[in-house]
């Protein structure tokens, strides 16, 4: 038995006999052939990270106080950004740290198990799905694309184009009739804007998808949410091969250059752990 195995067995023996009520906090699952150590502490800043191997899959874990996450007081803490924020950031840091060494299946913040045996059962039940996912995302990254729309600017652009077209068309219409035409154009602007947005966003999604292996549309947190004065109108996720990231970025730049004057912008961020593409692993309540 090498030193690493001896240390791991010692850790496992210790955590099987806790002195107080604890839970096992799962950060992610990874390829055990690529991840042999875990350094640092968990979301509480105290409990060390450790690995738990199940066949060819390894779970990255730490212990946490059960009361801290599963109690009436914990319910209130989960509503407190000052409490949740640093822990959620630490969770993300650990997953990204592992991602630099192995493909990962990231767990959501606050995924807990009451015992390591229950974690093992989950992994064994979903072994094939987890293994296939880790193979599928090897050398790929998730990139997020958010669509931001300056609605007043977009409306003005549509109205200006329509009015210019009307004025360029030879007509014997009276000034009064022309006035009503202009009013009709202004009244129809929202319908035209929505039609233009559907067509444009579909085209941009298709262009970006040529540089990605997968794509999905995420939900918006709230309708009409604004960022720097613009409405957030879409939330996309792309699974991009690392070798195609430069081309993917360039496509975003082209889309922005083309549509900026219409008030439409695409905001790119990443790389992120592949949360949007994870298989569904059912965790029974009270696991």
pLDDT score of 213: 96
- Distance, CA of 34 to chain centre: 24
Domain boundaries, the chain: 3-138, 142-275
Hey, which residues does 41 pair with through a beta bridge? 48
Residue 230 banded pLDDT, cuts 50, 70, 90: confident
**Prediction pTM value:** 0.78
**Of 19-23, 186-190, 197-201, 254-258, which range is least confident?**
186-190
Fold category of 142-275 in CATH: Alpha-Beta Plaits (3.30.70)
> pLDDT for 69-126, tens place per residue?
877 777 778 887 888 899 999 999 999 999 999 999 999 999 999 999 999 999 999 9
pLDDT score of 1: 31
Maximum average pLDDT range among 39-53, 155-169, 176-190 = 39-53
Which backbone phi and psi does 269 adopt, to 5 degrees? -145, 150
What's the whole-number mean pLDDT along residues 149-159?
82
From the CB of residue 118, how many other CB atoms can be counted at a distance below 10 Å? 15
Helices 175-187 & 189-209 angle (0-180, nearest 10): 50
Omega before residue 271 within 30° of 0, cis: yes
What's the whole-number mean pLDDT along residues 204-230?
79
Average pLDDT taken over every residue of the chain: 83
Q: Which two tokens stand for residue 194?
A: 């929505």
DSSP sequence for 60-101: EEEEEEHHHHSSHHHHHHTT-HHHHHHHHHHHHHHHHHHHTT
> pLDDT for 231-275, tens place per residue?
899 999 999 999 999 999 999 999 999 999 889 999 999 999 999
What's the whole-number mean pLDDT along residues 121-138?
96
pLDDT score of 179: 55
């Amino acid at each position: 038995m090498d030193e690493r195995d001896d240390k791991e067995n010692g850790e496992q023996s210790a955590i099987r006999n806790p002195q107080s009520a604890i839970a096992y906090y799962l950060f992610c699952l990874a390829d055990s052939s690529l991840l042999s150590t875990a350094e640092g502490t968990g979301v509480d800043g105290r409990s060390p990270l450790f690995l738990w191997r199940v066949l060819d899959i390894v779970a990255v874990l730490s212990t946490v106080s059960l009361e801290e996450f599963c109690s009436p007081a914990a319910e209130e803490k989960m509503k407190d950004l000052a409490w949740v924020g640093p822990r959620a950031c630490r969770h993300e840091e650990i997953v990204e740290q592992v991602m630099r060494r192995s493909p990962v299946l990231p767990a959501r913040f606050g995924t807990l198990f009451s015992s390591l045996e229950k974690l093992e059962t989950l992994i064994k039940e979903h072994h094939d799905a987890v293994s296939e996912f880790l193979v599928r995302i090897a050398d790929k990254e998730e990139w997020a694309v958010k669509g931001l729309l300056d609605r007043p600017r977009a409306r003005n652009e549509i109205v200006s184009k329509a009015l210019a077209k009307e004025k360029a068309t030879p007509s014997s219409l009276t000034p009064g009739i022309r006035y009503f035409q202009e009013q009709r154009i202004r009244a129809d602007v929202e319908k035209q804007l929505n039609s233009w947005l559907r067509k444009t966003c579909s085209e941009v999604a298709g262009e970006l998808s040529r540089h990605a292996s997968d794509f999905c549309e995420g939900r918006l947190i709230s309708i009409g949410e604004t960022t720097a004065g613009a409405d957030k109108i879409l939330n996309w996720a792309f699974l991009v091969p690392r070798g195609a990231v430069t081309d993917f970025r360039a496509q975003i730049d082209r889309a922005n250059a083309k549509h900026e004057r219409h008030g439409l912008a695409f905001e790119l961020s990443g790389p992120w752990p592949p949360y949007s593409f994870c298989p569904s692993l059912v965790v029974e309540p009270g696991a």
